[in-house]
């Protein structure tokens, strides 16, 4: 049994940069443990000034290896880096993924890198609230850049767009038709695009296809010059293109700060965090009131979810 | 502007099997339109006796083609079939997917088949509540089998397990490493496994790998004989193995009815539907109370999501 922890003491230790304290705080905030709300409050106050980079894209494109390379790059610039790895499913597949994440895990003993894996399954109120809580802890810990890597195709991508300041969408020269189609949805959320595994054949075509899909070259007539998502090439395996990618990420961060878009995104992030806080809190208390008898009434069609829900909310 | 619709008249027309009425009712229930609750109540009452089959698996394995083949098979048995196609992201990719869904869409003009696509993006309270609502409408319409096809890797799979009675997990002989790893998570939710594209090399190894991962052959020592997920092979392209798959699905349906597991799953489905009803209702009313001033207070760190959320819930 762990020793009793004073919340403000824990916050103080996180701010001093203690990884063990951050680890503890993260567990409490993510699992909604005792003092979770008091902690979350403190961490929220100190947050909102660090770039959160979401790394998204279909399975198998090398997101983890690329994330690991970015960590290495940021470390070479003496930046402290936080990494959140989001596993969409169970602890079982979480384990299985670990092999793919060797490139990240080699940084695990670096005191300038804090890595945490989040499993979404079974979280009331979804993954999103937990990610926000985790991000705020990482900021308090002193991270200069926060990387959030997700594995997902649709729903997850949408979620990452609501927590990250900058969304990096990773693809490769060779993707199946269905995955190609998914890119269409991703277009809307990507701020930078990377064709990874650029050592494979078809790199130039992939870049050209992406640019065409993004409608680049068609924006000359627009009066206001918005952000044009760059399409870059990397080979995460040997690190080619990583400095250019890091420069692109920094360029987007500058754009966010100068254009006011960063503040607008922060506001949207807060709106989402608020929504998920409400969701988690309300569902929890409503579900605590559901009895087996209630469910039996549903099975017997003596009531329906809306009528029962209304009763439980009273 | 559509003519004013009387909810009970709409329900009556759906029960008579009118597709146009079902389409209308579905839109209202899914989008939470006027009279949505009154409609959902009626449709819920008539539901709970039809097999809902979730078709899940990684992108590119041929889920849509296989779903189309199953529709064809059920039609040859004179069964009425409902198909829900769940698109995880935006309307853009929804459009792009259509090409993959030709095998389903060729049934679109068959009066014994009702097909509907659901896009999850932007749905308050998530996709799950909308799927339940849609399922209940399809049951009232007289569908004998309901197929729910999802595109997803993690989160979606978990959701499908909470709405379907039978989860069919589709894979192929050749999958990337990361996709292989995902299967581990899917093991927990799959009731039947299919190696599709069985005309490709590696079918036997894929089946053997799946069986090994499922721990088949290791269950001899178990006292109670539970359901052993069959591992089947299909070639959706030319229809090979589809009758055997349909027999397997029927076998699981029989198992659900005889073992009591079907009732237990129905109860869990109702619990989930209730949870998402509460979620949707509460978030909606809380979010209506959020002002831009509230969000500005968050950006300025004058408050935090938990404190603001608590205030809004009062």
List pLDDT tens digits, range A76-106. 999 999 999 876 554 333 333 444 566 677 7
Its pTM stands at 0.69
> DSSP assignment, residue A224?
S
In eight-state DSSP terms, residue B194 is E
pLDDT bucket at A208, cuts 50 / 70 / 90: confident
| Co-location of B17 and B147 in the same domain | no
Cβ-count burial of B95 within 10 angstroms (0-12 exposed, 13-18 middle, 19+ buried)? middle
A125-145 mean pLDDT = 87
> CB under 8 Å to B149, separation ≥6 — which residues?
B55, B63, B64, B67, B83, B84, B85, B86, B104
- Within this chain, do residues B172 and B235 fall inside the same structural domain, yes or no? yes
* Residue B284 falls inside a structural domain: no
B188-210 pLDDT, tens digit per residue, is 788 999 999 888 888 888 888 88
Final residue of a structural domain among B216, B236, B260: B260
Q: What is the mean pLDDT of each run of 10 residues along chain B (314 residues)?
A: 73 95 92 87 92 87 91 96 76 42 76 85 58 94 94 56 91 64 65 91 84 63 68 92 98 96 92 83 79 91 89 81
Instruction: Kindly tell me the burial class for residue A49, based on how many C-beta atoms sit within 10 Å of its own C-beta (0-12, 13-18, 19 or more).
Output: exposed
**Residues listed for chain A:** 314
Q: What is the mean pLDDT of residues A193-201?
A: 89
Q: Supply the angle between the helices A126-140 and A7-15 in degrees, to the nearest 10.
A: 60
The residue from B218, B241, B260 where one domain ends is B260
| Residue A209's pLDDT band (cuts 50, 70, 90) | confident
The total number of residues shown for chain B amounts to 314
Please report whether residue B137 resides in a domain.
yes
Chain B hits for A135, CB-CB cut-off 8 Å, are none
The predicted pLDDT at position A216 comes to 57
- Residues B3 and B107 grouped into a single domain: no
My answer on whether B239 and B198 are in the same domain is yes
Q: Is A277 inside a domain boundary?
A: no
Sign, Cα dihedral of A141, A147, A153, A154: positive
Out of A59, A307, A312, name the one closest to residue B41 (CB): A307
Most confident of A33-42, A116-125, B113-122, B243-252: B243-252
pLDDT exceeds 60 at position A157: no
Instruction: Quote the domain boundaries for residue A63.
Output: 49-264
CB B108 within 8 A of CB B77: no
Q: Mark whether B204 and B132 lie in a shared domain.
A: yes
ipTM computed for the complex:
0.77
Residue A291 lies in a domain: no
Please give the pLDDT value at position A130. 83
188-247 in B: which are within 8 Å (CB) of A? 188
Q: Are B29 and B67 part of one and the same domain?
A: no
Same domain membership, residue A100 and residue A26: no
Choice between A253 and B212, residue whose per-residue pLDDT is larger: A253
Residues B157 and B98 in one domain: yes
Strand partners, B192: B168
Residue B84, in any domain of the structure? yes
Selected residue with higher pLDDT from B137 and A108: B137
B53 in Cβ contact with B163 (< 8 Å): no
| Domains identified in chain A, total number | 2
Question: What pLDDT score was predicted for residue B100?
Answer: 55
**Nearest chain B Cα to A294, which residue?**
B271
Residue of B nearest to A176 (CA): B60
Strand order in the sheet with B231-233: B113-119, B81-87, B145-150, B51-56, B166-171, B192-195, B231-233
Among the three residues B26, B46, B66, which one is the final residue of a domain in this structure?
B46
Query: Which residues from chain B sit within 8 angstroms of residue A41, using beta carbons?
Result: 304, 306-307
Report yes or no on B283 lying in a domain.
no
**Do B195 and B104 belong to one domain?**
yes
Mean pLDDT, chain A, integer: 82
In a domain, B280, yes or no: no
Domain-located, residue B278 = no
CATH code, A251 = 3.40.50.300
Q: Is A41 near chain B, with CB under 8 Å?
A: yes
Count of beta carbons in the 10 Å neighbourhood of residue A246 = 19
Per-residue pLDDT reduced to its tens digit, B81-120? 999 987 655 433 333 344 456 667 778 788 999 998 887 5
Nearest residue to A293 (alpha-carbon basis) of A308, A271, A277:
A308
Window A:68-87, CB contacts with B under 8 Å: 87
State whether B53 and B31 are in the same domain. no
Cβ separation A299–B48 shorter than 8 A = yes
* Co-location of B85 and B169 in the same domain: yes
- Residue A18 sits in the same domain as residue A151: no
């Amino acid at each position: 049994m762990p020793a009793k922890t004073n919340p403000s003491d824990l916050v103080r230790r996180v701010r001093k940069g203690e990884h063990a304290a951050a680890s503890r705080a993260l567990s409490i905030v993510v699992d909604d443990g005792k003092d979770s709300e008091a902690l979350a409050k403190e961490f929220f106050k100190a947050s909102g000034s660090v770039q959160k980079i979401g790394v998204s894209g279909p399975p198998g494109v090398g997101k983890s290896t690329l994330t690991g390379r970015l960590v290495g790059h940021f470390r070479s610039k003496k930046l402290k880096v936080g990494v959140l790895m989001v596993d969409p499913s169970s602890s079982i597949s979480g384990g299985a993924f670990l092999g793919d994440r060797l490139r990240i895990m080699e940084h695990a003993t670096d005191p300038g890198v804090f890595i945490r894996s989040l499993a979404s399954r079974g979280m009331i109120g979804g993954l999103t609230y937990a990610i926000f809580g985790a991000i705020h802890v990482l900021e308090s810990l002193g991270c200069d850049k926060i990387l959030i890597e997700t594995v997902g195709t649709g729903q997850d991508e949408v979620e990452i767009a609501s927590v990250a300041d900058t969304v990096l969408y990773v693809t490769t020269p060779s993707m199946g038709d269905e995955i190609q189609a998914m890119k269409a949805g991703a277009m809307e959320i990507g701020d930078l695009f990377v064709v990874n595994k650029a050592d494979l054949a078809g790199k130039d075509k992939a870049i050209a296809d992406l640019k065409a899909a993004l409608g680049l070259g068609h924006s000359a007539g627009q009066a206001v010059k918005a952000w044009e998502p760059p399409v870059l090439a990397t080979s995460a395996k040997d690190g080619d293109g990583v400095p250019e990618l890091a420069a692109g990420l920094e360029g987007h961060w500058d754009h966010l700060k100068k254009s006011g878009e960063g503040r607008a995104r922060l506001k949207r992030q807060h709106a989402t965090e608020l929504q998920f806080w409400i969701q988690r809190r309300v569902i929890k208390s409503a579900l605590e009131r559901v009895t087996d008898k209630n469910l039996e009434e549903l099975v017997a069609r003596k009531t329906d979810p809306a009528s029962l829900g209304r009763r439980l909310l009273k």
